[in-house]
Copies of this chain bind each other. A is one copy, B any other.
Amino acid sequence: MENFLIGVDLGGTNLKTGLVNMDGKILEKIVVDTGEGKDIVLKQIVKAIENITSKAGKDKSEIAGIGIGSPGLVDSEKGIIRGLTNIKGFENVHMKEYVESALDIPTFIDNDVNIMAYGELKCGAGKDAMNIVCLTLGTGVGGGIIIDGKIYRGSSLSAGEIGHIPVNVDGPKCICGGRACLESYIGRDRIIKRTIEKLTQRKESIIPKLVAGDLKKITPKIIYEAAAVGDTLAIEIWNETAQYLATALAGIINVLNPELIVIGGGIANTGKYLFDPLRDMIKERVFPFLAEKTRIVRAQLGEEAGIIGSAMLAKV
């Protein structure tokens, strides 16, 4: 009898649950509102798992494992979500214990960026790789590290904070308490801020037109669209973004020597406007033989990374 896995992607807004086969293919998927409050969210998760199992015409006995990915601080060893800023009252939640006692199926949890990295390793851009560094570029800059084919969590389960690599000795204060962190230059809002700053100094850009004069409406997507039609100022913004990123990743490559850097998240949709200068700049900054050996690629799983990665975590 074939077995299946369930992957749960617990977000602040949506709770995505997928029934996945052993190769990481999503066979059924349901998305519901996450809801508020610890008890409601926990019940939603169990219900979603039951619903998707019956929707797919499977029996509970066919589910080999459940994986759950969540943002915030996750103690994957003990199965506890320590904190989840987007959901009220979600602190020190014994997720693994709760789900296992409700469903009697082995359950595993981890941080969402670790999950994404693991998903890319098993079913995405990182197949056949052993040492991978994954980044998500969005509101913040997240990171997940795979070493020897396993998620590397560090001594206090908080490894992978690539967004908080300083890229300058001095620089802007960061929300982490540090200074000049990568995220403080290329987090979503900082990219927009840099764009607005440039626009106040220079006028020759189509960006103001794209937002009908309301600079508050600038998004990374708008800056991407401007770059796509050759807007010099927009291209400069992506070049600068690539430069900050290249500085941090050069350090990562020289120190961790991964074979692969996988970049996902909304900002990665900028495609060649970010990736082309990024690859060139990294080549200039790392040891020449590492420049050849380290591939810089886009994440492949996109929106489904959370479900697939969680499910793969449960494949033991």
What residues of chain A have their CB less than 8 Å away from a CB belonging to chain B?
A: 129-131, 143, 145, 147, 152-162, 164-169, 176-180, 243-244, 247-248, 250-252, 254-259, 284-290, 293
Contacts and interface: CB of A to CB of B under 8 A. Distances in A.
Given A147-B152, A155-B257, A251-B248, A168 B165 contact: no
- Count of chain copies: 2
A160 B290 CA distance: 13
A158 to B, nearest CB: 5
B169 A254 contact: no
13 contacts: A155-B258, A158-B257, A161-B257, A161-B287, A164-B250, A164-B255, A164-B287, A165-B250, A165-B251, A166-B251, A176-B287, A178-B250, A251-B251
A258 B152 CA distance: 11
Given A169-B244, A177-B288, 11 more contacts: A153-B257, A154-B256, A156-B257, A158-B290, A159-B256, A161-B255, A162-B255, A164-B287, A168-B168, A179-B285, A248-B251
B131 A155 contact: yes
Contact of A284 (B156, B179, B286): B179
A156 B131 CA distance: 10
